[in-house]
Amino acid sequence: MKTVVIGVIGADVHAVGNKIIDYVLSENGYNVVNIGVLSSQEDFINAAIETDAKAILISSLYGHGEIDCRFMREQCEEAGLDKVKLYVGGNIVVGKQDFNDVEKRFKKMGFDRVYPPGVKIEQALVDLKEDIGI
C-alpha cells in the first residue's frame, strides 16, 4: 500500500475537497496521511518523511497557492525528499487565468502534475496510479 500525503497549504481553510480526497484515495487503496487545512510546506515535508510517502498532493483553493508553493521543490530536496512526486490542484492562482500559463509556472517550480479548477480527484487517480502505482 503506497502512502500519499494530502493537505491544504498556507492560510487556506477550504476543507471540503480535502475531506473528499481523503475518502476517495483511501477507498482506492492508498494509505492517506491527511495533514488537513492550514498546513505549511514544513508540515507536508515532515509528514512525507515520517511516512515514507511516494507523493505529496497539495491542495490550494483560496488563491495564494502561487505564493505558498514557492520553493516547495527546493525545500523537499533540502530535506532529502528527492524522489517524491509533487502534485498541486484546486484553484491554485488568483482569478480566472489561462491554465496553460499556470501549468507552466508551476511545472517550472518543480511540480510534477498541476490540475486546473474543477478537476475532481476521481479524475486524477489515473495519473497517481501511473506515477506511483497503488
Partner 1 sequence: MVKNEKLTMEEFLRIRKEILQGWPTGSHPALELDEAVKRLKSVPPHKNFALKLRKAKEQGVTLIQPRAGVARLDEHIELLQYLEKEGRADFLPSTIDSYTRHNRYENAEDGIRESDKQGRSLLNGFPAVNHGVDGCTKVYKNINVPIQARHGTPDARLLSEIICASMWTSNEGGGISYNIPYAKTIGLEDTIKYWQYVDRLVGYYYEQGIELNREPYGPLTGTLVPPSISNTVAIIESILAAEQGVKNITVGYGQGGNVVQDIAALKALEEQTNHYLKLFGYEDIFITTVFHQWMGGFPSNESDAMGLISFASTVAALGNATKMITKTTHESQGVPTKEANAQGLRASKMVVNLLKGQRMPDSKEIEEEINQIKKEVDSLIHAVVKAGKGDIAQGAVNAFKRGLIDIPFAPSEMNNGKVLPARDIEGKIRILELGCLAFTDEIKEFHHQKLAERAKIQNRKISIQMTIDDIYAISEGVLVGTEKG
Q: Choose between 65 and 128: whose C-beta lies nearer to partner 1.
A: 65
Q: Per CB under 6 A, which region of 40-48, 54-62, 70-78, 102-110 contacts ligand B12? A: 54-62
| Integer Cα distance of 106 and 38 in angstroms | 20
Q: What does the alpha-carbon distance between residue 112 and residue 125 come to, in Å, rounded to a whole number? A: 14
Contact of residue 67 among ligand B12, partner 1, none (CB under 5-8 Å per partner type): partner 1
Does the footprint of partner 1 cover residue 110 (CB under 8 A)?
no
**Of residues 117, 68, 72, 54, the one with CA closest to residue 90:** 117
Hey, what amino acid is at 81?
L
Q: Which stretch binds ligand B12 (CB under 6 A): 14-22, 43-51, 67-75, 104-112?
A: 14-22
